[in-house]
Amino acid sequence: MAVQTDLQNRTERTLGSSSWIGRLRALDLSSPRHADKLGYILLAPAVLLIFVILVYPILLSVDLSLQDVDIPRIGETREPYTLDNYTKLFGSAEFWRASWVSLKLIVVVTSACFAIGLATALLVNQHFKGRTLARLFVALPWAVPEVIAVVTWWWMFDSSFGLINWLLVTLDLADKPIAWLSQPVPAFLVVSIVMIWKGYPFVSIMLLAGLQAIPEDHYQAAKVDGAGAWQRLFWITLPSLLPVFGVTMILVVLWVFRDFAVVFILTGGGPIGATQTLSMMTYEQAFGFFRMGFASAIGVVTLVICVLATRLMVSRMAKSMY
Amino acid sequence: MAEMRLEGVRKVYGGAVVALDDFSLDVADGEFVVFVGPSGCGKSTALKIIAGLEPATSGRVWIGDRDVTEFAPARRDIAMVFQNYALYPHLSVRSNIAFGLRMRHQPRVEIDRRVQEVARILDIESLLDRRPRALSGGQRQRVALGRAIVREPQAFLMDEPLSNLDAKLRVHMRAEIGALHQRIGVTTIYVTHDQTEAMTMANRIVLMRNGVVQQVADPDTMFEQPANAFVAGFVGSPAMNFFQSRLTKGPDRPVIEFGDATLPVQLAPDIFARYAEQDVLVGLRPEHMSIGNGTHSTVVRPNLVESLGSERYVYFPVPTANTVGHATFVSQDEDRRANTMIARLMNVGRIEEGAPLPLSFEPDRIHLFDPASEQAIN
């Protein structure tokens, strides 16, 4: 301590002791004494940004959801607080149907993404010729911009000119073209397929990273101990991947929950609400019918669901490993 | 328990890199054999081939009376201890130890009984329900050993199992593994790069270099009669000193010169005839020098003295005439240059650096090597 003060004094003397510039210069932020200050200073821009683009809008929408307001205007006198939007929301069949669609989509897309993602990750984790190329192909759908990908799929599923119908008819798998996007079940199927196609590479990449972190020793020890390939998968690979599974699942679930482009471009939520997710419904209420208060209420409920789901998965998955 | 045999095992990587060349070895039932050598000498490769984790390019491996060359690791009935222990982090100590038995579908009661017994032998009964990450290095090491012995295999293979422990614990576990081997008497092959481990634990040492076996012998033989300069330099600490000298005819025995000292050496007449009036490589262990004037002594000027309490390591320059021109042999501490020698002096007083110091030699302990092939000649 004494040494440090002495050092500081000497530094101040050389830099012009009494002036505040001198003192500022002597304030060495990299010294252990000031390390925490430096940390806060470096964090400040990010924290500020998060406040501006995340926290403030969230507070704004909570505020809006508690008012009976259609189009809010700056400077206008605010409406009185009310729970009308929430009462209306929980009483509307549309909300429950959208929640059900979102849930179905999450279950179908997430499980399919994990099945395909795990299979492809295990595949490209093997040593074979052309592995780098195979990895590239596995990751490719992820790299295609979402809107372009969805528009392409939309064309492929077009009932009159689409590639899929042409294939089905040519291969005699269907006797007449299927109206993919104007029937409830096929429309849901198409939305699911496109989301799976777009989503599995992310799972694959994450799981591949997880696979590579498993020490080779563990497999060798298991081989010597007499574990076969399936036993190694169930006893070593899958348990070792659990932490990665947890994080990836949260990210995928949240992605499915909030993804908008796929549904919007393919079906717009139709036919008759068969593919209307909560995010689609929020958009429609806000920018279709300009019921901002009501739309904000949906957004707030969605946020609460997401937070709860995340919390649940984080604690479960993290504990199960260690 | 079983004997083990390797017949001309060879391993080539990528068609060009020979990791193991014509490796043949017979291991007796219950023997403790240590493979030792510097990194990249092929000792771990040899172990993996025995375990079945890597295929041999050619040659056969026998365990007991079975040719296991084409067998998967599981069918070889061996247990292996890995350098990083390879404990499964998601399983408790109990499940880790039971893993091999469970994979072989043993009855649950039997598994429990054997896990308990092994835990008792290794004194880890209180740790059975912990996860590996809650264990210290030494405890993990014990669990890894437990996982190996619970299976009661034909042989143990250990791949540098002590290299992740700190020095004190290593000495302790070394003794423990030795005691464990005496107790259960299973054939063991132990890989290490540490010659001290090899010397203290082995019934027999296999010293390897660049994929080639240099010498197979018990520790004392390896120390006293090294087959070549590499073995001589590898075994012993501090490593053997090497210098060069002309071999000439002395009054009754052949002699070499070191500085102004003339040292008689033991040499068969026909060998002497071959090397007479030629330079030979001379090896002299640091502990075979002592302080003071004797029959065969010279005066050196130490340039560094290290004290270890009861003993002192005295570094002194090799006389120019004795400096080895081509130091191809690799000693254990490679950073020691060919122009420096070490004397290990026991219970001596203070030694001044730079001051003249009389040193006497024990000529009977001198090793002579062919300067080209580096093979021992006496």
Whether A225 contacts chain B with CB within 8 A: yes
Return the beta strands (E) in B120-253 as ranges.
155-159, 187-192, 204-209, 212-217, 241-246, 248-249
* B332 and B199 in a common domain: no
pTM tops 0.95, yes or no: no
* B211 and B247 in a common domain: no
| Alpha helices by DSSP H, chain A | 2-15, 20-26, 35-50, 56-65, 84-91, 93-124, 131-143, 146-156, 163-170, 184-212, 216-224, 229-232, 238-258, 261-266, 278-283, 292-321
* B293 and B222 in a common domain: no
Q: pLDDT class for A182, splitting at 50, 70, 90?
A: confident
Q: Which of A216, A220, A224, A317 to mutate to test the interface with B (most CBs of B within 10 A)?
A: A224
Count of domains for chain B: 2
Please tell me the distance from the alpha carbon of residue A220 to that of residue A223, in angstroms, as a whole number.
Answer: 5
Whether A214 contacts chain B with CB within 8 A: no
User: At B351, which CATH number?
Assistant: 2.40.50.140
CB within 8 Å: A226 and B82? no
Examine residue A54 and state whether it is found in any structural domain, yes or no: no
Q: So what's the pLDDT on residue A1?
A: 46
Please tell me the distance from the alpha carbon of residue A190 to that of residue A178, in angstroms, as a whole number.
Answer: 12
CB within 8 Å: B80 and A217? no
Report the alpha-carbon angle A146-A152-A156, nearest 5: 140
* CB-based contacts of A175, cutoff 8 Å, min separation 6: A169
Q: So what's the pLDDT on residue B1?
A: 66
Whether A224 contacts chain B with CB within 8 A: yes
User: At B129, which CATH number?
Assistant: 3.40.50.300
Q: What order do you get walking across the sheet with B4-13 strand by strand?
A: B17-27, B4-13, B58-63, B66-67
B60 sits in the region (left: phi over 0; alpha: psi -120 to 50; else beta) called: beta
* B253 and B128 in a common domain: no
Examine residue B155 and state whether it is found in any structural domain, yes or no: yes
Q: So what's the pLDDT on residue B314?
A: 93
| Cβ pair B296, B262 in contact under 8 A | yes
* B247 and B213 in a common domain: no
Examine residue A69 and state whether it is found in any structural domain, yes or no: no
| CB hemisphere CA count around A98 (13 angstroms) | 27
Partner residues linked to B271 by β-bridges: none
Partner residues linked to B208 by β-bridges: B213
Partner residues linked to B257 by β-bridges: B262
The mean per-residue pLDDT over the stretch A18-37 comes to 76
Please tell me the distance from the alpha carbon of residue B160 to that of residue B272, in angstroms, as a whole number.
Answer: 42
| Cβ pair B150, B184 in contact under 8 A | no
Kindly report, residue by residue over A239-275, the tens digit of the pLDDT.
Answer: 999 888 888 988 999 899 888 888 898 888 778 888 8
**CA distance to A299, B112, B127, B154, per residue, from B121 (Å):** 62, 14, 13, 19
Examine residue B378 and state whether it is found in any structural domain, yes or no: no
Examine residue A92 and state whether it is found in any structural domain, yes or no: yes
Task: Go through chain B and tell me how many residues it has.
Answer: 378
Examine residue B377 and state whether it is found in any structural domain, yes or no: no
Count of domains for chain A: 1
Please tell me the distance from the alpha carbon of residue B199 to that of residue A29, in angstroms, as a whole number.
Answer: 54
Kindly report, residue by residue over A53-108, the tens digit of the pLDDT.
Answer: 999 999 988 988 888 877 777 777 777 788 888 888 888 888 899 999 999 999 99
Partner residues linked to A177 by β-bridges: none
Residue where a domain stops, chosen among B175, B207, B233 = B233
Write out the residue range of the structural domain in which residue A155 sits: 84-321
B-chain residues near A321 (CB < 8 A): 89-90
Q: So what's the pLDDT on residue A34?
A: 77
User: At A232, which CATH number?
Assistant: 1.10.3720.10
Please tell me the distance from the alpha carbon of residue B359 to that of residue B305, in angstroms, as a whole number.
Answer: 14
Residue where a domain stops, chosen among B233, B265, B296 = B233
B-chain residues near A233 (CB < 8 A): none
SS3 A313: helix
CB within 8 Å: A224 and B79? yes
Contacts with A, B 106-165, CB within 8 Å: 131, 133, 147, 151
The mean per-residue pLDDT over the stretch B74-92 comes to 90
Cα dihedral sign, B29-B31-B37-B43: positive
Examine residue A127 and state whether it is found in any structural domain, yes or no: yes
Kindly report, residue by residue over B3-60, the tens digit of the pLDDT.
Answer: 899 999 999 988 888 899 999 999 999 999 999 998 888 899 999 999 999 999 999 9
Please tell me the distance from the alpha carbon of residue B342 to that of residue B352, in angstroms, as a whole number.
Answer: 15
Whether B71 contacts chain A with CB within 8 A: no
* B207 and B150 in a common domain: yes
Write out the residue range of the structural domain in which residue B313 sits: 234-369
Kindly report, residue by residue over A80-90, the tens digit of the pLDDT.
Answer: 788 888 888 88
Examine residue A175 and state whether it is found in any structural domain, yes or no: yes
Examine residue B374 and state whether it is found in any structural domain, yes or no: no
Whether B99 contacts chain A with CB within 8 A: yes
Q: pLDDT class for A317, splitting at 50, 70, 90?
A: low
* B309 and B229 in a common domain: no
DSSP per-residue codes, A100-139: HHHHHHHHHHHHHHHHHHHHHHHHHTS--TTHHHHHHHHH
- Out of B53, B100, B133, whose CB is closest to A225? B100
* B251 and B206 in a common domain: no
Closest chain B C-alpha to A311 CA, distance in angstroms: 22
Kindly report, residue by residue over A195-244, the tens digit of the pLDDT.
Answer: 999 999 999 999 999 999 999 889 999 999 888 889 999 999 999 998 88
* B56 and B12 in a common domain: yes
* B280 and B198 in a common domain: no
Average pLDDT over chain A reads 85
Please tell me the distance from the alpha carbon of residue B46 to that of residue B22, in angstroms, as a whole number.
Answer: 11
Report the alpha-carbon angle A29-A32-A34, nearest 5: 40
Kindly report, residue by residue over B172-181, the tens digit of the pLDDT.
Answer: 888 888 888 9
The mean per-residue pLDDT over the stretch B306-314 comes to 90
DSSP per-residue codes, B278-301: SEEEEEE-GGGEEES--SSEEEE-
Examine residue B135 and state whether it is found in any structural domain, yes or no: yes
Q: So what's the pLDDT on residue B332?
A: 45
- Looking up tokens 């937070």 gives A307
What element of type H or E holds A76? none
Q: So what's the pLDDT on residue B166?
A: 85
**Interface contacts (A, B; CB < 8 Å):** 70
B-chain residues near A226 (CB < 8 A): 73-74, 100, 103-104
Residue where a domain stops, chosen among B190, B209, B233 = B233
Examine residue B315 and state whether it is found in any structural domain, yes or no: yes
* B146 and B19 in a common domain: yes
* B174 and B208 in a common domain: yes
Kindly report, residue by residue over B290-302, the tens digit of the pLDDT.
Answer: 988 888 888 999 9
A-chain residues near B147 (CB < 8 A): 221, 225
Examine residue A142 and state whether it is found in any structural domain, yes or no: yes
Closest chain B C-alpha to A118 CA, distance in angstroms: 20
Name the residue of chain B whose CA is nearest to A226's CA: B74
| Cβ pair A258, A277 in contact under 8 A | no
| CB hemisphere CA count around A152 (13 angstroms) | 11
The mean per-residue pLDDT over the stretch B102-114 comes to 91
Kindly report, residue by residue over B126-157, the tens digit of the pLDDT.
Answer: 989 999 988 988 889 889 989 998 988 889 99
Please tell me the distance from the alpha carbon of residue B168 to that of residue A181, in angstroms, as a whole number.
Answer: 72
Average pLDDT over chain B reads 88
